[in-house]
Structure 1
Amino acid sequence: MTVDASKKKRFYRKNVDFFKFVERLKLWPSRSGILHGVKTMTIRGNTAEIVTHCNEKFQIYNSKHSRAARCLRNKLFFHACTACKIPGWKLEKYSSTHVNQNYGSRL
């Protein structure tokens, strides 16, 4: 029996480095609940600058307990950014991703 790639569940560890998690997902939730696609991410020590596809810039900190980290782990967002044009397959892949304490890829 073959499992369709879009229906396959992905598991990531909860306590991995937050920057690696964002680099892997290529998604960023803004404070207003809009999900943006990440174009580039420049890491400078404990901070990073994210540039989205709609050319917004976000300064983020390497915190596993931040608002953005909780939003990414729990999939809390209202809608995707229309300017970033996140494809449907990427949103499906993101919705099938699970973050677990004891199981999954360590990135």
Structure 2
Amino acid sequence: MVINSIKQKRYYRKNVDFFKLVAKLKLWPSRSGILHGIKSMKIIGSAAELITHCNEKFYIQNSKHSRAARCLRNKLFFHSCPTCKIPKWKLEKYSGTYVNQNYGSNL
């Protein structure tokens, strides 16, 4: 018996703390448009150090209006990192996530 699963839409608030959003999604868009999976995240004051599954380090600032924040909200990326091996279900879950100003989880 095959059960058709309905894609569930997830809503997060647009003005939530950026570090909480990144920690929840566990994804990071690099400047070249590649989507990486996050292995660990260490918050250091108003900055954070991300280590991806392909052992790249990114130092990020807590900014809701940054390039990366816009990319995460608008789902702007070319492809996922082949070394990070992000599962297909995680990409589908990410594509079904919406960021809204007035509606959604506060994380």
Give the alignment of 1:45-84 within 5 angstroms: 45-84=45-84
The answer for the alignment partner of 1:44 in structure 2 is: 44
CA distance in 2, matches of 1:3, 1:71: 31
Deviating runs (4+, > 2 A) in structure 1? 2-5
Shift of 1:73: 0.1
Shift of 1:4: 2.7
Code of the aligned partner of 1:101: Q
Distance change (3 Å), C-alpha of 1:3 and 1:98: farther
| TM-score of the aligned structures, taking structure 1 as reference length | 0.95
User: What is the aligned residue count?
Assistant: 105
The answer for the alignment partner of 2:5 in structure 1 is: 4
Unaligned runs of 5+ in 1: none
| TM-score of the aligned structures, taking structure 2 as reference length | 0.95
SS of aligned partner of 1:72: helix
CA distance in 2, matches of 1:42, 1:91: 23
Superposition RMSD on alpha carbons, in Å? 1.3
Give the alignment of 1:17-28 within 5 angstroms: 17-28=17-28
Give the share of equivalent positions with the same residue, in percent.
75
